Amino acid sequence: MYKIVRKEVLNPSVSLIEVEAPYIARKAEPGQFIILRVDEKGERIPFTIADYDRDKGTVTVIFQIVGKSTESLNELGEGDSLQDMVGPLGVASNFEGVKKVAVIGGGLGTAIAYPQAKKLHSMGVSVDMINGFRNKDLIIIEDLCKAACTNLYTMTDDGSNGNQGFVTAKLEELINSGEKYDLVVAIGPLVMMKAVCDLTRKYDIKTIVSMNPIMIDGTGMCGGCRITVGGETKFACVDGPDFDGHLVDFDSAIARSRMFKNQEAESRERAHKCRLEGMNNA
């Protein structure tokens, strides 16, 4: 069992949990992920490690409430325990030789981009971080990000925080102003990462994306997380999740991400119905 030592609600649909997992915390690196189960009948849910504390022996996960399993996870509080957690899984990010990097997070992807920026910043790399959200009410971990980079730009689609625009527009503005990036790291919705890669390809800037497709076992055996990179089949759980964004077939990845949309909606509806019935029978 893995005890939740801290929980924080970041916005109405996103929560943070810090979990006691000393063996995972000891080896975790930015870019890696864990798979957890809420209870013995729960499904295996993959989450990128948002942070870790080797001294405290804890791992931090930030998740969005999108379905039955994440709703069940969000019902747990401080002092409760997860059934199990395995990790760290995946290949850690490699940032050798870079001096100036733009790290881009979109929505919940900001929670995954944060440890990347933090690692780079700790290496003495100059980091411009650009985070994008639909509106100001959805902005998360802004203070953490500010401490993990040289310059932070938080954009909103509607401009409700005073900075209107997409992350791609801000990135292009910085490039055109003379910023010379060795690398761009983009993490967020597939359509956002695709747009970033389309932009950086024009300027011949190496771009790394974090692919988080459907995962089941986390060992490459099930094949559920397969993606096409440079015309070859790769498995995000063992070959990634970091890949050269200019080689990723985003169109096929986007199509596969929508395969179970109807089943996910049906699962949420059944879960809500069961909860309502339970409340009525209480």
Binding site as annotated, residues for FAD: 62-64
- 187: closest CA among 217, 166, 207, 215? 207
How does 11-34 read in b/e, with b if 16+ C-beta sit within 10 Å? eeebbbbbbbbeebbeebebbbbb
Asked if 213 and 227 count as a contact pair (C-beta separation under 8 A), the reply is: yes
Cα–Cα dist 275/282, whole Å: 11
Query: Cα 223 to the chain's mean position, in Å?
Result: 20
Binding site as annotated, residues for [2Fe-2S] cluster: 222, 225, 237
Q: 3-state class of 264 per DSSP?
A: helix
Residue type, 163: N
Cα–Cα dist 18/57, whole Å: 10
Query: Cα 8 to the chain's mean position, in Å?
Result: 17
Binding site as annotated, residues: 62-64, 222, 225, 237
Cα–Cα dist 45/37, whole Å: 6
Cα–Cα dist 199/182, whole Å: 15
